[in-house]
Chains A and B, each alone.
Chain A
């Protein structure tokens, strides 16, 4: 039995999926210019990540493993995630138009978010049980939400700051991410890990 609380703490703060593991950087820098869009993206990620984890876990344990098809996992996982996102988009459009318009463009963008596929792979590499996998996915997604909302609010304030011409845009966001990462390094003490 894996320690659920430890998995949560580790995925949410200590090994934050963006700042420490570098997964999902494209949406992190791409849609974090405003806090509101950043939050929508974060919520979509938690949702899709959890669903994708459950589906890929069952596929891997009950189809790929018994049939000895593990070498197909990259192909199968990416296709499953791409179809899942498409399916969710259609489903939301029909059944939950409110949520659909709130998430907007972010849902289709998630297909190329390497955090989703990355978490699916990490679940398998870590030999997580289904429950631990779900906890891992939700807390990784929550970590993503936390980081993207934080950087979104910082970037809003930077709008009028005097930044050197060459550093405007992405480079300065990287500097912010570096400072945030330094702060997050402090959480390592939680689990009694030293650097």
Chain B
């Protein structure tokens, strides 16, 4: 029992990592990771939707008719996406502007529908919660790492939170004039995920 919960959680983070293994949810991964804070915000927003949609789908799995399940899943997911969209707009307006259209677009993130269909619809509530949490942590972790790499090389600082925290200077002040601007431009996003995915493949091959 205890072991199964733990395994579900860890599988969600590593073995079924949405981005690095299944290559799902790539659009927000590349679009919003120009800084670590944005990546973290996007990741947590998606995690919120993942956990709650898994929870609801799993608790209603005996009532939802099989042939109508996909539209029902979509409505459940879309409701939570609307909630987090409006919550961000109200409480963290600068972050909401930064993430832009990608918050409402969580609704078409196939990873979330995939977890609802592939896991929550077939498993009990406590395991589905863990699965949502694991998938969410895995997603958030990759977004945070992407954001960290791009922010450090692109701007020379780390964890800059506009209006709250100026960020940690990683390379000293002279770097700001000659930062590798490519990393915060769109092509840098593609390059960073390519290298990250390559490294992950390499690590998995050598560690079974």
Per-residue CB contact flags for chain B residues 177-208 toward chain A (1 = under 8 Å, else 0) read: 00001100111111101110111011001000
Per-residue CB contact flags for chain A residues 76-117 toward chain B (1 = under 8 Å, else 0) read: 001100100000000000000000000000000001111001
Is B86 part of the binding interface, using a Cβ–Cβ cutoff of 8 Å?
Answer: yes
Task: Please give the distance in Å from B193's CB to the nearest CB on chain A.
Answer: 5
Q: Which residues of A lie under 8 Å from residue B198 when comparing CB positions?
A: 164, 166-167, 171
Is A55 part of the binding interface, using a Cβ–Cβ cutoff of 8 Å?
Answer: no
Among the listed B23, B101, B187, which residue makes an inter-chain contact with A125, where contact means beta carbons less than 8 Å apart? Answer: B101
The residue on A at minimum CB distance from B204 is A166
- Complex CA gap A170/B196 in Å reads 11
Is A39 part of the binding interface, using a Cβ–Cβ cutoff of 8 Å?
Answer: no
Task: Please give the distance in Å from B189's CB to the nearest CB on chain A.
Answer: 7
Cβ–Cβ contact A78 & B205, under 8 A: no
- Complex CA gap A19/B85 in Å reads 25
Cβ–Cβ contact B194 & A23, under 8 A: no
Task: Please give the distance in Å from B161's CB to the nearest CB on chain A.
Answer: 23
Tell whether A121 pairs with B194 under 8 Å between CB atoms, given A112-B110, A181-B186. Answer: no
Interface centre among A72, A79, A166, A179, by most chain B C-beta atoms within 10 angstroms, is A166
- Complex CA gap A73/B54 in Å reads 22
The residue on A at minimum CB distance from B113 is A112
Q: Identify which of A24-32, A58-66, A134-142, A154-162 touches chain B.
A: A24-32
Among the listed B23, B27, B107, B193, which residue makes an inter-chain contact with A78, where contact means beta carbons less than 8 Å apart? Answer: B107
- Complex CA gap A78/B109 in Å reads 12
Cβ–Cβ contact B199 & A22, under 8 A: no
| Interface residues, chain B, with chain A CB atoms under 8 Å away | 23-24, 26-28, 30-31, 71, 74-75, 78-79, 81-82, 85-86, 100-101, 104-105, 107-110, 113, 181-182, 185-191, 193-195, 197-199, 201-202, 205
| Interface residues, chain A, with chain B CB atoms under 8 Å away | 19-26, 29, 71-75, 78-79, 82, 111-114, 117-118, 121-122, 125, 164-167, 170-175, 177-182, 185, 195
With A23-B105, A181-B190 known, 19 other A-B pairs at CB within 8 A are A21-B186, A22-B28, A23-B31, A73-B104, A74-B107, A114-B27, A114-B108, A117-B104, A117-B105, A121-B101, A125-B101, A167-B198, A167-B201, A173-B194, A177-B187, A178-B187, A178-B189, A178-B190, A181-B185
